[in-house]
Amino acid sequence: MDIIKKVKHTIEKYNMISMEDHILVGLSGGPDSVCLIQILHMLKPAYKLKISAAYIDHGLRPEDVPKEIEFCKYLCESLNISFYTQSIDVKSFAKNEKINIQEAARILRYGALEQISINIKAHKIAVAHNADDQAETVIMRLLRGAGPAGLSGIPPVRKKIIRPLIEVERAEIEKFLSEKNISYITDPSNESLKYLRNKIRKTLMPVVKSISPQATKIISRTADILREENDYINVAVTKALMRLMSRKTDKKVELFCNPMEVLNIVVLRRALRVAIDSVKDLKGLTFDHIEEIIKLIKTGKPGDRLYLPKGIRAIKGYSTLTVTAESPKKLSTYEIPKPMDIYLKEANIFLSLKEIKREELQDFGNGKSTIYIDMDKIKFPLIVRARKAGDYFYPFGFGKKKKLQDFFVDEKVPRDERDTVPVIESNGDIVCIAGYRLDDRFKIDDNTKRCLQIKIMPKL
């Protein structure tokens, strides 16, 4: 099959082009994009196409850009094709977004092509990825530890983007250009081995092809199979997410635990990835992080959590799993001038303080949700605050002084909850750690006449 028939077959196979489509071609002047625009021009009568082209200046090779633009402009004039140019600032974008140059260039390039297509009312945007690009992409993603979605490679069609050369090998493109005596420009950056793709292209692929001459075709076919299976899994994932999703904000996502505990691992892994990646501040978690979250779902107890990179935390509740990038809350400082009720909004709890006579005391509380204090050993106003560096107290029943930090560790208080645990102090001394332990110095004894009852109640 010659290259024209092969491209036409790809177009029909993936339903890339409709009759009378206006197609914007991403044109760099390199062999692939020149081949693409020439073939589309040849197919123009068959589909009654309108073709335009755009050159995107990335701002990375200022010495080469003018001649490349001139070449592309001349080529388009010879084919009677409208030609557009647009500049993008890749370096600044990469710095601001903290991503590598190649990723920044890709994002801005597609954004620029999209904008031009809107301006000129183009139906499709054609780019010149070929079968070798596909094979290199699959290998590159395999080396980076990608899953089935990543190994499905470059999609032939993605929204408005079409890739008519995706089943054509680079050797076929070079042969076509040579036979037709069509000139093109060579980008010197394609020779640099500082980029992973170029290393794979220049060093690895020749070895692979020496072992299996059909390697490009085989890898591309494998990518097609994985893509079809991936599409099937995505349907199952979409259905699963309808049952899993509880709520989502700009910084966190909350999912129901029960359905996840019985969900097929393949679907669960993908559903977690989709749900987490849908929240901007949660992006960047790896496959290993997803596996840790799955382990938390399957074997964790309510209250268990994972501390992940970039301040991200996964917290298993009684019925939900929360993955969040929100900064842990910190309790404000409250002053209690007398026995009264007070709401601590950061901890979402009420403190109810009530004075009672010693003879009215029927039990000594549980030391956690209900605490009794010798009222004559404290001095109002009481201060309720978050922990401070160097805090210490004398835990009831422990018999000696203990650092609050060590107490929290021993009690397994999660790190991200420690700043919301109310520390109640009187005259600079810690009276109790609300919800956890009374200080031994303020306990009721045989000389106690008045008691202060402190009840800690969560807001319903």
Judge whether 84 lies within some domain: yes
Q: What are the CB-based long-range contacts (under 8 Å, 24+) for 242-250? A: 244/271, 244/275, 245/275, 246/320, 248/275, 248/278, 248/279, 249/279, 250/279, 250/280, 250/281
Judge whether 242 lies within some domain: no
Q: Shortest CA distance to 402 belongs to which of 374, 451, 366, 439?
A: 439
CATH number assigned to the domain comprising residue 268:
3.30.465.60
Q: Kindly report the backbone phi and psi dihedral angles of residue 336, in degrees, each rounded to the nearest multiple of 5, phi listed first.
A: -115, 105
- In this prediction, residue 1 carries a pLDDT of 67
Paired residues of 453 in beta bridges: 354, 372
Same domain, residue pair 372 and 300: no
- In this prediction, residue 361 carries a pLDDT of 81
28 is in an annotated binding site: yes
Judge whether 186 lies within some domain: yes
Same domain, residue pair 107 and 42: yes
Q: Which positions ≥6 away from 359 have C-beta within 8 Å?
A: none
Domain stops at, among 226, 257, 275? 226
DSSP string of 207-276, one letter each residue: HHHHH-TTHHHHHHHHHHHHHHHHHHHHHHHHHHHHHHEEEE-SSEEEEEHHHHHHS-HHHHHHHHHHHH
Judge whether 172 lies within some domain: yes
CA distance 58 to 68: 12
- In this prediction, residue 314 carries a pLDDT of 95
52 is in an annotated binding site: no
Query: CB of 336 within 8 A of CB of 353?
Result: yes
pTM, rounded to two decimals? 0.66
410 is in an annotated binding site: no
Residue with the larger pLDDT of the pair 301 and 125? 125
- In this prediction, residue 98 carries a pLDDT of 85
Same domain, residue pair 307 and 412: no
Judge whether 234 lies within some domain: no
Domain stops at, among 281, 299, 324? 324
Same domain, residue pair 102 and 177: yes
Residues 236-249 pLDDT 10s:
999 999 999 999 99
Judge whether 352 lies within some domain: yes
Domain stops at, among 281, 296, 324? 324
Total number of domains constituting the chain: 3
Same domain, residue pair 306 and 412: no
- In this prediction, residue 342 carries a pLDDT of 95
Judge whether 239 lies within some domain: no
Judge whether 240 lies within some domain: no
Same domain, residue pair 338 and 315: no
Structural domain span for residue 313:
249-324
Same domain, residue pair 257 and 162: no
317 is in an annotated binding site: no
Q: Which of 81-90, 135-144, 268-277, 364-373 bottoms out in mean pLDDT, i.e. has the lowest?
A: 364-373
Same domain, residue pair 168 and 136: yes
Same domain, residue pair 31 and 141: yes
Residues 296-351 pLDDT 10s:
999 998 889 999 998 899 999 889 999 999 888 899 999 999 999 999 999 999 99
CATH number assigned to the domain comprising residue 193:
3.40.50.620
31 is in an annotated binding site: yes
367 is in an annotated binding site: no
Same domain, residue pair 390 and 428: yes
Strands of the 370-374 sheet, one edge to the other: 341-344, 349-357, 450-458, 370-374
- In this prediction, residue 460 carries a pLDDT of 66
CATH number assigned to the domain comprising residue 360:
3.50.40.10
Same domain, residue pair 152 and 106: yes
Same domain, residue pair 342 and 299: no
